[in-house]
Amino acid sequence: MIELFPEGFEESRADGGVELAAYTNAGGEERLWQVFGPGRAEDVQAGWAEAWKRFHQPVRVGPLWVGPPWETAPSEALAVVIDPGQAFGTGSHPTTRLCLAHLLDEEPHGLLDLGCGSGVLGIAAARLGFDPVVAFDVDPLAVEATAANARANGVELAVRLLDVLAEPLPPSELAAANIALAEIESVAERIPASRLITSGYLASERPDARGWQHAGRSELDGWAADVFERL
């Protein structure tokens, strides 16, 4: 579906399986049928181009408000405005919310955001007074999205295109890695930080972070986040 409709498609649960839908024209419908076989075609309802916005609701984590640019943050909140059009994470996923909650428990020092995606964690950290904040991702589109979101939020992040699994990392007091479990276990020993926040995995999983001592865990909707201290 990504190859057929790089501009976007919709995935939803249906009858115990998954239904994939693309908003396209007759040519796109023909491509879809050639790959997947006969499907169902329907005329879209008026206003479909704006309907996707209802799926992106703001979230609140302590003083932090994370939401899309068409919503208005409460006046007392620390707003983190993320454009969901980049599709690298909007802050609503439980793992992101868990990481944000753990950031609130940390003293504001330097932060490494390993696998920054849309930049939610790095931007939130900067809003909380962390400095310097350095954000890394191996995907150039994620680096571009993070830089754009940082500018839109009026915060300074050093955003770098870098493979955190293979390349050296700068020292920092704190690191956050909301990435896959296998990647966390691969990079943990090489992270030059005193404390580490990890997430991106289910509550039934626990990262084997070599060189670190476990210091805390939180869970939300079947997902987990952990805090480690350097041994």
Domains of the chain, start order: 10-44 (no CATH), 86-230 (3.40.50.150)
Name the residue with higher pLDDT: 29 or 219. 219
Q: Is 187 exposed, middle or buried (0-12, 13-18, 19+ CB in 10 A)?
A: buried
Q: Average pLDDT, whole number, for the chain?
A: 92
Give the other-Cβ count within 10 Å of 107's Cβ: 9
Query: Nearest to residue 176, comparing CAs of 119, 129, 138, 231?
Result: 119
Q: Stretch 69-96: mean pLDDT, rounded?
A: 89
Q: Stretch 38-67: mean pLDDT, rounded?
A: 83
Angle (CA) 136-140-146 rounded to 5° is: 55
Residue 48 has pLDDT above 70, yes or no: no
- Please write the tens of the pLDDT for every residue from 132-169: 999 999 999 999 999 999 999 999 999 999 999 999 99
